């Protein structure tokens, strides 16, 4: 069996962390099994779907390196949905219902008030042809429900949650089509999974109830069930479900300078007992990817942990990997010098400015005499062979200074900063002429 997974975002907004995790899991499982990863744009809601969000989905997935092997759009598949809908209707598995939303709300309130579960009472199935004709003559247009088989217990073996069992008598017949003819999520999704040959449906545990309903749709449509994997939801660092996670978008992460590999490395391991590590590529993650490693407890997402992981990955990046993202003229030597002090690649521009100048020089008036001596020493040393070691050795011998008193005034004068990259690497990059000018306060 060829493994085929799918990621099915709705183009009604930007992708957020939870979406990214679902896309990553589907992409990783397909890649780890030599299978295919399909992008399905769920744009049946014409009023809320926007092309700018479709473009954003493409951009975000490309930035994350999660490129699909195929793409479909639900808005181009209405003919297929109509045909399968008519089949189910002819088989008696779909029926019209005429209650208004207000009437349904009242029914639910009455049931809850009696201590009963708010399950649809199937009143529409008791209507005669004459009843339906009268309602439609009165201008009442029906919505459409899928009739569950109350005698067929719903069961599947979930790759994360284990054996799942649901009694269909405890579930309402789901509405699959609105009165205006537009589709809800449930039926088109099942039809697509069958038509596209989706072998594994991988999504969050908030879809478990949907799966319980869709299992019977697969059967009614004459299809075998895909394999399901429902991963635990993410929680915020405060230990509970966070609204922040629902709005933290890929665009925000990109703008903050987070490396895409950090996002992949973190989200691939969250929810497992495997350590989160700053791996530079996906191969180590793909080799260990297994839904059996995922627990059922909520997975904790911490933006601080992501930022730290991203910085550790930046420290591993070669000049060739980042050259297109660096300021014009910045060299490999400069990248190697500043890389250990960066949290993001974008920060390299600040240190390139320190190297090239001009810099905002720190107040060095208290060390004027010392820096004048440093300038004289810098003028006399051989700049082709470790000038920092030569400079500090001469100054230590001439002034008796050591430690912070020896090094900090030099760093301040040369870079305008109290902290930063190793000066042994920075000083040759600053160069003789700029160094002399800065030591002399110029």
Residues at the binding site for ATP are: 243
Are 20 and 261 in contact by the 8 Å Cβ rule? The answer is no
CA 334 to chain centre: 32
Tokens found for residue 228: 């399901």
Are 384 and 376 in contact by the 8 Å Cβ rule? The answer is no
307, HSE (Cβ side, Cα atoms, 13 Å): 9
- Picking from 85, 96, 104, the residue whose alpha carbon sits closest to that of residue 186 is 85
Binding residues: 243
Q: Is the peptide bond before 102 cis (omega within 30 degrees of 0)?
A: no
Using CA atoms, how far residue 76 sits from 40, 80, 178, 422, in Å, is: 11, 9, 18, 58
Tokens found for residue 317: 């990046």
Q: At what angle do helices 403-415 and 432-439 cross, to 10 degrees?
A: 110
CA 253 to chain centre: 9
The dihedral of CA 105, 111, 115, 120: what is its sign? negative
Q: Where do we find the tokens 């700018």?
A: 52
Q: How far is it, in rounded angstroms, from Cα 243 to Cα 257?
A: 22
Q: How far is it, in rounded angstroms, from Cα 415 to Cα 426?
A: 9
């Amino acid at each position: 069996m060829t493994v085929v997974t799918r990621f099915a975002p709705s183009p009604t907004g930007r992708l957020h962390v939870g979406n990214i995790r679902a896309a990553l899991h589907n992409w990783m499982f397909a890649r780890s099994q030599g299978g295919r990863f399909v992008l399905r744009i769920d744009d049946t809601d014409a009023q809320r779907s926007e092309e700018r969000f479709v473009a954003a989905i493409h951009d975000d997935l490309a930035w994350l390196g999660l490129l699909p092997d195929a793409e479909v759009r639900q808005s181009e598949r209405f003919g297929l949905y109509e045909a399968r809908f008519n089949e189910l209707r002819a088989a008696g598995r779909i029926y019209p219902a005429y209650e208004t939303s207000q009437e349904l709300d009242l029914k639910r309130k009455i049931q809850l008030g009696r201590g009963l579960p708010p399950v649809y009472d199937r009143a529409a199935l008791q209507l005669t042809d004459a009843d339906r004709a009268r309602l439609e003559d009165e201008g009442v247009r029906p919505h459409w429900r899928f009739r569950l088989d109350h005698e067929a217990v719903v069961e599947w073996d979930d790759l994360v949650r284990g054996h799942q069992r649901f009694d269909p008598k405890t579930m309402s017949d789901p509405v699959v089509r609105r009165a205006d003819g537009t589709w809800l999520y449930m039926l088109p999704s099942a039809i697509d999974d069958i038509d596209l040959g989706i072998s594994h449906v991988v999504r969050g545990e908030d879809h478990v109830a949907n799966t319980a309903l869709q299992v019977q749709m697969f059967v009614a449509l004459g299809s075998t069930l895909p394999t399901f994997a429902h991963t635990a939801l993410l929680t915020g660092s405060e230990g509970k479900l966070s609204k922040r996670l629902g709005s933290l978008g890929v665009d925000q992460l990109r703008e903050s300078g987070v490396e895409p590999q950090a996002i992949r490395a973190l989200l691939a391991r969250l929810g497992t007992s495997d350590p989160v590590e700053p791996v530079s590529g996906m191969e180590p993650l793909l080799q260990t990817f297994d839904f059996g490693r995922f627990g059922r407890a909520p997975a904790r997402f911490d933006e601080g942990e992501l930022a730290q992981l991203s910085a550790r990955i930046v420290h591993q990046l070669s000049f060739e990997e980042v050259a297109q993202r660096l300021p014009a003229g910045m060299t490999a030597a400069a990248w190697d010098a500043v890389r250990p002090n960066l949290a993001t690649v974008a920060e390299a521009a600040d240190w390139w400015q320190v190297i090239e100048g001009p810099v905002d020089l720190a107040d060095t008036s208290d060390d004027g005499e010392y820096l004048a001596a440093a300038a004289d020493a810098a003028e006399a040393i051989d700049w082709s062979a470790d000038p920092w070691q030569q400079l500090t050795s001469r100054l230590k011998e001439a002034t008796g200074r050591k430690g912070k008193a020896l090094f900090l005034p030099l760093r301040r004068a040369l870079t305008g900063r109290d902290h930063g990259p190793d000066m042994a690497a920075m000083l040759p990059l600053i160069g003789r002429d700029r160094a002399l000018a800065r030591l002399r306060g110029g």
